[in-house]
Structure 1
């Protein structure tokens, strides 16, 4: 599922709202989610942020990967 910047903005505003007592957020595609704690909202922000960064990297054509280094020479 592709997230949008508006979803991340709503989650940031929801973080403040959950801290003050509100618990629901409605995304751009119409889904509604209820959060119980600030930690749950923070975890959702991290997921959406990571997805947006991955989408931006995919669109820019930048692919990064790591090559493992072993001291034994493998």
Structure 2
């Protein structure tokens, strides 16, 4: 079931940019607004730095990563 959403106090520049973007995509402002909201909310969540580190494979020995002397 669809819900109506009212957005108040939108800056003139933002409304103008939305109108321009909607026209470029061949949409109404309302359809463009829906698409922007949908895309923003369906983005994958960012992984934390810890999650990225934990996902790295455990390869090599400590000596493999030591700096070479000159």
Report if TM-score (shorter chain) is over 0.5: no
Which has the larger strand fraction?
1
Q: Which has the higher contact order (CA 8 A, sep 6+)?
A: 1
Report the TM-score when normalising by structure 1.
Answer: 0.29
Report the TM-score when normalising by structure 2.
Answer: 0.30
Which one has a bigger Cα radius of gyration? 2
